[in-house]
């Protein structure tokens, strides 16, 4: 079945309805951006380019953490706090896809039941597919579409599968890392990469019997962050405890994000980071398009199959085989 939008609107209607904040049309526009069909992608790009002047005004927040840390529970409590302040929020939630069927449960509207009914909130689950980094292939386009629809805060909830989550750092202004209580014992096993990228660490589930463990984890992470070199933004990451059930640490998290935005806007890092992220997006798309063009060439795909056998038989080095493919493609 083709992944197209039924009764597709003219592009002018898409633009006007999204500008009005029509969530049905917004959802259709995101579906258009997610499509793998060339004609859908072309229309999506035209639409987003028309909307570009009205984008960029939101605060983009990436939230990640290991499975079981309570991302959806935290985001719902955090989102309800923001909507109580009359902030329009969009949550782009990336669900893991099956490597076998490529399907995804897309269950965040069920997990965030209260927030999904909030008129100030828009929740859009998307499958990760084969895209690495805990995000979907069209997450950047979805961010722009939500901004054009008037959403002031965009939250990207990543898949939450480990170190590959750092990709979302190149899409957001503020990177929030959620950790479980009792993580002090596991601190030695935490790799440096994702910790260095965090603008704030929140220890979740800091309630009941977990309070002491959460406080100890908080102290351990604060010590660990002191060992890292200063970030490019010159912002000093904080570590706080939170309980989504008891609404502890939710208001404080938003306060830290507001401080970060003001701090980085004043030292001009905020805009520089946005500019760099657009260049990364540009270069990543060049790579993707080149790979797509390679796969469309019958001559090249035949050559790849021949070289794959040679690589398996260890008669040619993989790097040499790759250079040969690129050389043949450039000369064709």
Our count of domains for the chain comes to 3
Scanning 125-191, the segments in alpha helix (DSSP H) are 139-148
Q: Which domain holds residue 216?
A: 55-267
How close are the terminal C-alpha atoms of the chain, in Å?
Answer: 34
Count of other CB atoms within 10 angstroms of residue 31: 18
Residues 189 and 79 in one domain: yes
Domain contains 87: yes
Q: What SS3 state is found at 154?
A: strand
Residues 96 and 226 in one domain: yes
What's the pLDDT tens digit per position in 261-292? 999 999 999 999 999 999 999 998 888 888 88
Count of other CB atoms within 10 angstroms of residue 206: 25
Residues 35 and 112 in one domain: no
Contact 307, 316 (CB under 8 A): yes
pTM of the predicted model over 0.95: no
Residues 130 and 208 in one domain: yes
Task: Give phi and psi for 133, each to the nearest 5.
Answer: 95, 10
Res 296: pLDDT:
87
What's the pLDDT tens digit per position in 73-85? 999 999 999 999 9
Domain contains 272: no
Distant-in-sequence, close-in-space partners of 279: CB < 8 Å, separation ≥ 6: none
What's the pLDDT tens digit per position in 21-31? 999 999 999 99
Contact 163, 100 (CB under 8 A): no
- Cα–Cα dist 239/58, whole Å: 24
Residues 235 and 221 in one domain: yes
Contact 249, 240 (CB under 8 A): yes
Count of other CB atoms within 10 angstroms of residue 154: 25
Q: What SS3 state is found at 96?
A: coil
Residues 178 and 60 in one domain: yes
Domain contains 273: no
What's the pLDDT tens digit per position in 201-229? 999 999 999 999 999 999 988 988 888 88
Contact 194, 177 (CB under 8 A): yes
Domain contains 235: yes
């Amino acid at each position: 079945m083709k992944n197209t939008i039924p009764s597709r609107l003219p592009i002018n209607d898409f633009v006007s309805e999204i500008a009005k904040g029509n969530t049905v049309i917004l959802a259709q526009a995101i579906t258009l951006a997610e499509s793998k069909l060339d004609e859908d992608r072309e229309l999506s790009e035209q639409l987003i380019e028309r909307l570009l002047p009205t984008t960029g005004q939101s605060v983009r927040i990436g939230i990640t953490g290991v499975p079981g840390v309570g991302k959806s529970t935290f985001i719902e409590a955090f989102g309800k706090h923001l909507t109580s302040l009359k902030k329009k929020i969009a949550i782009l939630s990336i669900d893991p896809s099956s490597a076998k069927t490529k399907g995804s449960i897309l269950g965040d509207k069920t997990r965030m039941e209260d927030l999904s009914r909030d008129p100030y909130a828009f929740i859009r689950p998307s499958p990760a597919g084969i895209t690495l980094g805990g995000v979907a292939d069209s997450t950047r386009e979805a961010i722009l579409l939500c901004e054009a629809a008037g959403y002031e805060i965009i939250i990207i909830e990543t898949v939450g599968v480990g170190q590959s989550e750092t990709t979302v750092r190149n899409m957001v202004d503020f990177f929030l890392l959620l950790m479980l209580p009792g993580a002090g014992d596991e601190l030695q096993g935490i790799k440096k990469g994702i910790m260095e990228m965090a603008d704030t660490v929140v220890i979740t589930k800091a309630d009941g019997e977990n309070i002491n463990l959460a406080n100890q984890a908080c102290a351990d992470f604060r010590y660990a962050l002191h060992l890292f070199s200063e970030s490019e933004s010159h912002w000093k990451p904080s570590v706080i405890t939170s309980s989504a059930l008891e609404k502890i640490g939710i208001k404080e998290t938003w306060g830290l994000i507001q401080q970060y935005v003001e701090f980085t806007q004043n030292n001009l890092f905020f805009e520089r980071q946005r500019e760099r992220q657009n260049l990364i997006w540009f270069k990543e798309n060049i790579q993707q398009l080149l790979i797509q063009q390679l796969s469309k060439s019958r001559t090249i795909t035949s050559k790849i199959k021949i070289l794959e056998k040679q690589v398996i038989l260890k008669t040619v080095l993989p790097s040499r085989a790759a250079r040969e493919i690129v050389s043949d493609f450039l000369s064709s």
